Amino acid sequence: MPEEPTGGPGKCVLLRKFALTSGLLREPTLLCVGLSFADVVQFMPTAREHFEDHSPRTLTGIARHYLRDLVYGANDGIITTFAVVAGVAGARLPGGIVIILGLANLIADGFSMGASSYLASRSEDAARSAEGRDPFEPFPVRHALATFFAFVVAGAVPLVAYVANLPNPFVIATLCAAATLFTVGAARTLVTSRPWWRSGAEMLLIGTAAGALAWGIGRAAERLVA
C-alpha cells in the first residue's frame, strides 16, 4: 500500500492539483506514491515555463503571443469598414450614411470577431481535452479582447474624415486606410523574418482590392435603383 507524502493527505491534494494545473502529470494519483511534499520543488522550472508560454511578460513575447489576433482583427477592421465607406461613396449617398453604417459595422462586426476568436479557442481546447491532451490556450478571453480592440482601433480610421466633416472625405479616408493597411502589414516584421515592405504591400493590395470591389458594387447598385 503506497504511503501518503510527508505532511499527510492535505499536501498530497496540493501535489495533485499542482500536477493537473502544470500539465506535468496526467495521472495525479501517482504523486502519492513515495513522494514528499518537498519533492515538488523539482517540478517548478518546468511548470514556470509552461505558464510563461501562455502568459508572456516581455513586449516581444506579447507581440508574438497575440500577433495573430491583432493582425487578424486590425486587417478585418480596416478592410470591412473601408468597404462600407467605399460602397456608400460608390452609391453617392450622404456622408451621414457612412457614419451610421460605419459605426454599426465597427461595433457589431468587432464584437462578432472577438466572440469568434473566443469560441474558436474554446472549441480547440475542448477538442484537445477530448483527445487527452493539455489545453492549448487557458485564457481565450484575452485573445478575444485583443481581436476586438484591434478591429475597433484600425476600423475607426476610415471614419475619421467623415466624423470630422473634412473636405473630400472619401479621398482622405482612402489615403488613411491605405497607410493603416501598409503599417499593420509592415508591423508583422516585429516578430517575423519577412521584409517589412513585402508584408505591408501584401496587406495593402488585399485591402485595395476589397475597397475597389465595394466601390464598384455601390456604383452598380446606385444605377440599378436610380
Please write down the HEC assignment for all residues of 188-199: HHHCCCCCHHHH
Tally of CA atoms within 13 A in the half-sphere of 2 that contains its CB: 13
pLDDT band at 44 (very low <50, low <70, confident <90, very high): very low
For residue 142, pLDDT over 80 is answered with yes
What pLDDT does residue 66 have? 85
- Domains of the chain, residue spans: 9-52, 56-225
Mean pLDDT of 217-222: 94
Q: What is the pLDDT of residues 73-120, one digit of tens each?
A: 998 999 999 999 999 999 999 999 999 999 999 999 999 999 999 999
Q: What is the pTM of this model?
A: 0.72
Q: What is the pLDDT of residues 17-41, one digit of tens each?
A: 445 444 444 444 444 445 454 554 4
Distance of alpha carbon 156 from alpha carbon 84, whole angstroms: 12
Q: What is the pLDDT of residues 145-184, one digit of tens each?
A: 999 999 999 999 999 999 999 999 999 999 999 999 999 8
Beta-carbon neighbour count of residue 182 at 10 Å?
20
